[in-house]
Amino acid sequence: MAYDGSEQGGPELIGGRYRLGERLGQGGMGVVRRATDELLGRQVAVKTLALDSGADPADALREARVVAQVRHPHVIVVHDVVEHEGRPALVMELVDGGSLADRLAAGQVFSPRETARLGLDLLDALTAAHARAVLHRDVKPANVLLEKDSGRAVLTDFGIASLPGATTLSRTGAFIGTPEYTAPERMRGGDAGPASDLWSLGAVLCAAATGTSPFRRDSIGAVLHAIVYEEIRPSAAMGPLVPVVRGLLERDPERRLGAAEARRMLAACAAGEAPTAVAPVPTVRDGAPPAVPGGTLPDTASGGPRGGRRGPRALPFVTAAVAVCAAAATVAVLLAMQDEPPAGTAAGAAGTAGAGSTATSAPPSTPAPGRTPVSGTDAASREVTDERGFSLLVPAGAIRTTDGERVIYTSPDGAVRVGVRIRPVPPGGAIGVMRASDEDGPRSNPGYRGATVEETTRRGLPAARWEFTWDGFTRAEGARHTFDIAWEEGETLYDVWVSAPVGRLDEARSRFGATVESFRPTGG
């Protein structure tokens, strides 16, 4: 807010030359204000430590030293360090135009070409930092400034960056960073390198093109689950950017897209061309082809060898689950540090469960004792009673996630999904819903084909059945097939579906029949 002139003597002068003005922003440790450098007659930005932030004054000096190591047009410049209220204050260049977070909050999204240009600026900034062995560790929209006149992007806030030879910033019991833009290896407490910043860049590109992080959920636990486990399915709105984003959001840092390849692909997008991706390298786990439990994405359209990096490493779900449990201990600290409040996610089309689903930290369902084999397969099942008011058979060991009105149970190998949606009967009834979903199929399911929609009945009730094939979540897994049925029971529409790779079509068909037959409303 602008200075109101209420203090005697006018706006405060610090360092003998910087006249403080309006507040431009506030982070976890300090406040940034516009100021006038009265000696040189220029506008600057001054970052002062908030008295109640608990930040160590040495952190400000540390940030200044980090930024001083990296001189680049897309990295914020620190002009001076002065004392303010007994604490150091950073005097920086003023980038007039606000942050990327401000633009997104105002409802602005960027075209794929604009996003690619933004990505090139940030990638250049990170490359310059990494060349000095500096890791930013908090790349997010709030730390990306966009100059109003030139459109130049500037990476700022190196307050938690790591600097070689310097003491690492840490706080007892706290995770340092912003969860929904943090790489999975950091979530797991592993070593972080330049690849961790590139993951964050991928998440920022998604936010710029779609308006939100791909990992935004309604709780911190759900954010952590999404980052380390859930499918990553970039929005089709990203167009030619999808391959580079998938490469940057590869969970295994050894397989993640490197800076040079990312630059080539972003440059192609910025020029209005479709980037060509390097061939993916399949992950081999225990000598067998991978079944992807969401830990890695072997099919990243731009995966493959990255400048002589070592071969891929698997990320079993057990590791991810342990990480989520360990990270849950930091929830209170994460909430206090997160300066971009999470928002709810939109529900997708019926029959698909993608990265937009919101995970529950503990499945609110009650498994019945024992495991029941599904007829015609070796796959075991268990019966669950879900808090949404139904019971049914799901794959043994299935993980429960939610996406708006939808509840999804995913098999431990990530391949088979059982979904349920319960809502009031809409106009047009069950058949209307299925016909609308079929019409929307090419948009919501890439490679949508072989679809059939037919009216039917379930136990004498009006129903509709929808069946289709589509390209699937990952190239390694391949095409998927979905069986879906919706029926009207009084004023309620029940929708149950099963989706699986086409190579497991018989299992999917058998499981669909058993799941629908086992479904019972519980009135909960």
Full strand arrangement of the beta sheet holding 406-410:
358-359, 399-403, 406-410, 417-424, 492-501, 480-489, 461-470, 449-458
**CATH number of residue 490's parent domain:** 3.40.1000.10
How would residue 52 be classed by pLDDT, with cut points 50, 70 and 90? low
145 in any annotated domain: yes
Pairing of strands 153-155, 144-146: antiparallel
**Residue 272 falls in which region: left (phi positive, over 0), alpha (psi -120 to 50) or beta:** left
Burial 452-474 (b: 16+ CB within 10 A, else e): ebeeeebeeebbbbbbbbbebbb
317/444 same-domain check: no
Q: Which two tokens stand for residue 234?
A: 């970039």
Both 326 and 194 in one domain: the answer is yes
Quick one: 392 and 309 in the same domain?
no
227-231, 307-311, 328-332: range with highest mean pLDDT: 227-231
The structure tokens 């098999």 sit at 411
Average pLDDT (154-171) is 58
Pair 56, 120 in one domain: no
Tell whether 5 is covered by a domain. no
Pair of tokens at residue 397: 């060991």
* Residue 288 DSSP symbol: B
Helices (H), 148-231: 184-187, 194-210, 220-228
* Model pLDDT, residue 50: 63
Percentage helix, strand, coil for the chain under 3-state DSSP, each rounded to 5: 30, 25, 45
Residues for the chain: how many in total? Answer: 524
In this predicted model, what pLDDT tens digit does every residue of 94-125 receive, in sequence order? 888 889 999 999 999 999 999 999 999 999 99
Return d(Cα 32, Cα 468) in angstroms, integer.
Answer: 54
Query: What value does the CA radius of gyration of the chain take, rounded to a whole number of Å?
Result: 25
**160 or 441, higher pLDDT:** 441
Q: Quickly count: other Cβ atoms within 10 Å of residue 446's Cβ.
A: 14
346 domain residue, yes or no: no
| Residue 126 and residue 223 share a domain | yes
What CATH code is carried by the domain that includes residue 77?
3.30.200.20
C-alpha–C-alpha distance, residues 287 and 362, integer Å: 32
* 8 Å CB contact between 363 and 399: yes
pLDDT for res 476: 64
Q: Are residues 136 and 279 in the same domain?
A: yes
Looking at the structure, do residues 396 and 427 belong to the same domain, yes or no?
yes
Do 139 and 110 have their domain in common? yes
Query: What CATH number is given to the structural domain containing 250?
Result: 1.10.510.10
Amino acid identity, residue 455?
E
CA distance 462 to 455: 8
Give the least confident one: 208-212, 269-273, 325-329: 325-329
* Number of domains into which the chain is organized: 3
Residue 172 pLDDT > 80 = no
The one-character DSSP state at 311 is P
| Together in a domain, 19 and 168 | no
Would 342 be classed as within a structural domain? no
Last residue in a domain, options 303, 337, 371: 337
pLDDT at residue 499 is higher than 90:
yes
Q: Provide the terminal-to-terminal Cα distance of the chain, rounded to the nearest Å.
A: 49
Residues 335/339/344/346 CA torsion (nearest 10 deg): -140
Whether 150 and 206 share a structural domain: yes
Reported as a single tens digit per residue, the pLDDT across 437-492 is 999 888 878 889 999 999 999 999 999 999 999 988 766 678 999 999 999 999 99
Whether residues 279 and 407 share a domain: the answer is no
Q: pLDDT tens, 246-281? A: 899 998 898 899 999 999 999 999 988 877 654 443
For residue 484, which phi and psi values (nearest 5 degrees)?
-145, 135
| 66, 93, 120 - which closes a domain | 93
> Does the residue 345 lie in any domain?
no
Query: To the nearest whole number, what is the mean pLDDT of the chain?
Result: 75
Does 78 score more than 50 pLDDT?
Answer: yes
Query: Cα torsion at 190, 192, 193, 194 (round to 10°)?
Result: 130
Name the token pair of 370: 């024992």
Domain limits for position 19: 13-93
Contact 160, 137 (CB under 8 A): yes
Tell me if 7 is assigned to some domain. no
Q: Are residues 423 and 469 in the same domain?
A: yes
How far apart are the C-alpha atoms of 286 and 204, rounded to whole Å? 34
Alpha helices, DSSP H, located in 11-106: 57-69, 100-105
Whole-number Å distance between alpha carbons of 148 and 24: 14
- The predicted-structure confidence for 132-150, as pLDDT tens digits, reads as follows 888 888 899 999 999 988 8
In whole angstroms, what is the distance from residue 251 CA to residue 266 CA?
A: 20
Return the active site residues: 138
